[in-house]
């Protein structure tokens, strides 16, 4: 069975580590890369071509929304999931 390849991007090491643990418990998922900011996430997505990029909305150097735009512009087959602690999800949806 082909595994779904996932890129994790969050500026908090503890959150990235927790997400990695959750992903690696699933037999059909594999983490192919990690980034601590949006710019690194976009660069990794371009080289690794993951199936899914999981991005924190509030990262340094390039926020998750801008990183998502760069990732999907460069590699249309990569799906993006954005994580947020913001209460106003409407802001995030409008920005996308």
Interval 24-49: pLDDT, tens: 999 999 999 999 999 999 999 999 99
> Confidence band (pLDDT; 50, 70, 90) for 87?
low
In this prediction, residue 50 carries a pLDDT of 96
Residue among 70, 16, 10, 17 nearest 46 (CA): 70
Distance CA 29, CA 19 (A): 12
32 φ, ψ (degrees, to nearest 5): -105, -10
Global pTM value? 0.86
Beta carbons of 22 and 15 less than 8 angstroms apart: no
In this prediction, residue 84 carries a pLDDT of 77
Distance CA 25, CA 13 (A): 19
In this prediction, residue 1 carries a pLDDT of 81
Residue among 78, 39, 43, 77 nearest 60 (CA): 39
- Going by their DSSP bridges, the two strands 52-56 and 79-83 should be labelled as parallel
In this prediction, residue 83 carries a pLDDT of 83
């Amino acid at each position: 069975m082909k595994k779904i390849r996932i890129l994790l991007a969050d500026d908090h090491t503890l959150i990235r580590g927790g997400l990695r643990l959750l992903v690696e418990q699933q037999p059909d998922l594999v983490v192919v890369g990690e980034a601590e900011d949006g710019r690194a996430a976009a660069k990794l997505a371009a080289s690794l071509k993951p199936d899914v990029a999981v991005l924190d909305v509030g990262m340094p150097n390039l926020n998750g929304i801008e990183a998502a735009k760069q990732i999907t512009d460069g590699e249309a087959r990569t799906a993006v999931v954005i994580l947020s602690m913001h209460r106003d999800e409407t802001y995030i949806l409008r920005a996308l």
